[in-house]
Amino acid sequence: MKTPIRVAVTGAAGQIGYALLFRIASGAMFGPDQPVSLQLIEAPVEKALKALEGVAMELDDCAFPLLSSIQMTSEPKEGFAGANWCLLIGAKPRGPGMERADLLKDNGQIFIGQGRIIDEVAADDARIAVVGNPANTNCMIAASQAKRLPAERFTAMVRLDQNRAQTQLAKKAGVALTEVKNIFIYGNHSPSMFPAYAQATISGKPAAEVIGDEAWLQGTFCETVGKRGAAIINARGASSAASAANALVDHVHDLMTPGAIHSVAVKSEGRYGFDPNVWAGMPVRTTSPGSYEVIEGHSMDAFAQSKIAATNKELMEERGFVTA
Ligand code: NAD
Ligand code: LMR
CATH code for position 39: 3.40.50.720
Based on the fold, state whether residues 18 and 89 are members of the same structural domain.
yes
Over range 3-19, report the average pLDDT.
Answer: 98
Domain shared by 313 and 164, yes or no? yes
For range 64-73, the mean pLDDT: 98
| Residues paired with 88 in a beta bridge | 10, 130
Residue 226, ligand 1, Cβ within 6 A: no
Backbone angles phi, psi at 156, to 5 degrees: -120, 155
Q: Are residues 68 and 145 in the same domain?
A: yes
CA distances from 278 to 138, 154, 305, 318 (A): 11, 12, 17, 9
More confident residue, 1 or 222: 222
Distances (CA, A) of 262 to 3, 49, 168, 285, 316: 27, 35, 17, 7, 24
Residue nearest to atom 3 of ligand 2 (CA): 229
Whether residues 73 and 199 share a domain: the answer is no
Ligand 1 pocket residue status of 239, Cβ below 6 Å: yes
Q: Among 88, 89, 78, which residue's Cα sits nearest to residue 240?
A: 89
What's the rounded Cα separation, in Å, for the pair 99 and 247? 20
- Do 187 and 110 have their domain in common? no
- Choosing from 99, 104, 130, 133 the residue with most ligand 2 atoms within 8 A of its CB, the one to mutate for a pocket test is 133
Q: How many CA atoms lie within 13 A of 235 on its CB side?
A: 7
Region 56-65: what's the mean pLDDT?
A: 98
Both 178 and 237 in one domain: the answer is yes
* pLDDT the model gives residue 324: 66
Is the CB of 13 within 6 Å of ligand 1? Answer: yes
Read off the pLDDT band of 105 (50, 70, 90): confident
189 among known catalytic residues = yes
d(CA 219, CA 210): 17
> Ligand 1: does its nearest atom lie under 6 Å from the Cβ of 102?
no
Is the Cβ atom of 10 under 6 angstroms away from ligand 1? yes
Domain finish residue from 124, 156, 188 = 156
Q: Mark whether 174 and 310 lie in a shared domain.
A: yes
pLDDT digits (tens, 9 = 90+) for 226-276: 999 999 999 999 999 999 999 999 999 999 999 999 999 999 999 999 999
Shared domain check, 263 and 212: yes
Rounded-to-integer distance, Cα 72 and Cα 55, Å: 10
Residue from 20, 38, 40, 42 to probe ligand 1 pocket by mutation (most atoms less than 8 Å from CB): 42
Q: Do 270 and 218 share a domain, yes or no?
A: yes
Q: For all residues of the chain together, what is the average pLDDT?
A: 97
Find the mean pLDDT for residues 115-142.
97
Q: Is 165 in the pocket of ligand 1 (CB under 6 A)?
A: no
Task: For residues 140 and 273, give the distance between their C-alpha atoms in angstroms, rounded to a whole number.
Answer: 18
Tell me the per-residue pLDDT of 278-287, one tens digit each, with 9 for 90 and over.
999 999 999 9
Residue to substitute in 92, 98, 100 for testing ligand 2 pocket (most ligand atoms within 8 angstroms of CB): 100
Last residue of a domain, one of 156, 184, 206: 156
Of all residues in the chain, the percent with pLDDT exceeding 70 is 100
164 and 152 within one domain: no
The answer to whether residues 126 and 164 belong to one domain is no
| pLDDT tier, 97 (very low <50, low <70, confident <90, very high otherwise) | confident
Domain count, the chain: 2
Q: Which domain holds residue 266?
A: 159-323
pLDDT at 132 over 70: yes
CATH number, domain of 218, equals 3.90.110.10
Task: Band the pLDDT of 169: cuts 50, 70, 90.
Answer: very high
Q: Give CA–CA dist 94/104, Å, rounded.
A: 10
Q: Is 95's pLDDT higher than 90?
A: no
Q: Are residues 147 and 258 in the same domain?
A: no
Model pLDDT for residues 32-52, shown as the tens digit of each residue:
999 999 999 999 999 999 999
